Structure formats: structure tokens, C-alpha cells
Amino acid sequence: MEEELKAHLKELEERHTNLEIRKSREELDKILADEFFEIGSSGYMFTKKECLDTGVVLTEMTLHNYEIYPLADGVVLSTYYIRDETRDRNTLRSSIWKMIDGRWQLYFHQGTITPLELHEILMK
């Protein structure tokens, strides 16, 4: 069961970081919970409305080392590493996913720039 949940949330997370999905207000609206907020790698905070109205950063990203940590019934923390090819930088990411209205929605997200390189992360 947990492996199925992990695979499903990883797929949603990959959609959230996908360049084509990020271009679509409609697709982002489906992924982000109404109460969604984010602390970006810039250090600024964003709400769902801000993400939908002004758009999100459009970069080519690859996701690595995806893990989940159930926090409560219907609430999961996920952590992972992103290699941002467009900006030539790496970030450590965390998300909180909540089961809302019968589907998993992204409730919170944070990215932190890291000097760690992909080969260092994959060794752990």
C-alpha cells in the first residue's frame, strides 16, 4: 500500500515539476490545494492564487531520491532532490500532500538551494 502511495505521489510531484504542466493554469489548479502555499528557493512565499495568476518558474527539472513520510491519515510529507538543468542549480525539496475531496492535492511546498551535486545525493 505505501509503495503504491509513494508511486502515485511521485507521479503527482513529477507533474508539478513538469514544464508543460507548469505552463497550464488549469493543470496547476488541479494539483494545488486551495490553501496551498510555498516557500520558494528564492526565500519568498507564494499562495495558490499567486502561482496561478503570475505563473511559476518554467525550467527543465529532474527529480531524484523521492521519499514519503506519512504524518497522519490523509497527510504525507515527501522529500526529494531536483536537478534544475535550465538554471544549472540543485535544490532539496519538501511537499505536504493532503487527501482533499477524494484526491491527493499539494498543500505545502518548499525548495532550498543546495551545493550538493547529483552524484553526491545518489551515493547516499
CB 58 within 8 A of CB 22: yes
Task: Say whether 113 sits in a helix, a strand or coil.
Answer: strand
- pLDDT of 54 reads 77
Domains of the chain: 2-122 (3.10.450.50)
- pLDDT of 104 reads 98
pTM for this model (two decimals): 0.89
> Which of 123, 93, 107 lies closest to 48, judged by CA?
107
> Which of 52, 6, 18, 2 lies closest to 32, judged by CA?
52
Q: How far, in whole angstroms, is CA 20 from its chain's centroid?
A: 15
pLDDT by residue, tens only, the chain of 124 residues = 789 999 999 999 988 887 777 778 888 899 999 999 999 888 899 999 988 887 666 678 889 999 999 999 999 999 999 998 888 899 999 999 999 999 999 999 999 999 999 888 886 5
CA distance 53 to 26: 11
3-state SS record for 20-81: HHHCCHHHHHHHEEEEEEEECCCCCEEEHHHHHHHCCCCCCEEEEEEEEEEEECCEEEEEEE
Pairing relationship of beta strands 75-84 and 61-72 according to DSSP bridges = antiparallel
- pLDDT of 58 reads 65
